[in-house]
Structure 1
């Protein structure tokens, strides 16, 4: 599975996006941004839970939102979420490679 499909699959469940079965990357980014905006306006606590689950750095997010105050907060947050998921996928692949012996894995 390619990285973008993995991101779509994992985030669609966590963020509760509507049917993302045949969605392309641009549509996914747009849907995620809209969902984040909806959470900002109507369920901020749920957004905080998602950010915690995805492991977004809260102080870093606050700094970025202050620096980019002319930009849409939902766009900034959705991009951070995608970047963090991509980082986790790449880290998992890196550390799950079979190049390590059992002793080295511990």
Structure 2
């Protein structure tokens, strides 16, 4: 689905984290879920700021939590975070590798 190493680099660079390189996708998701659950319990404001910074809409979060009421909230949010970060990385890659044959086309 996505390049875990690239996601780890992105998360470490964007948020000043120190996630270990070489994590398997499940391990990365588990670490994120643990941190998100900690924020849910201890610093909900930090969680909201983080989700805003990642660009995950409140509507999407509410909808997902309603759809999956018996699932761990941290794990659901971790999946959203990884999905969103991957989308942003793909978008940046598309614009970097896009054909810029003329300045006019870029506008």
Distance 2:18 2:104 in 1: 44
1-structure distance, mates of 2:78, 2:95: 26
- 5+ residue gaps, structure 2: none
* CA RMSD after TM alignment: 2.0
Per-residue displacement from partner, 1:57-105 (whole Å, max 9, x unpaired)? Answer: 1111101101110101101100000000010111111111141223222
User: Any idea what SS the aligned residue of 1:96 has?
Assistant: helix
Say which is worse superposed, 89-98 or 53-62, in terms of deviation. Answer: 89-98
Size of the aligned set, in residue pairs, is 105
Q: Conserved in 1, the CA contact under 8 Å of 2:39 and 2:47?
A: yes
TM-score, normalising length from structure 1? Answer: 0.84
- Contact persistence 1:54–1:85 (CA under 8 A): yes
TM-score between both structures, scaled by the size of structure 2: 0.84
| Per-residue deviation, 1:25 | 2.7
Q: Does structure 2 conserve the Cα–Cα contact (< 8 Å) formed by 1:12 and 1:20? A: no
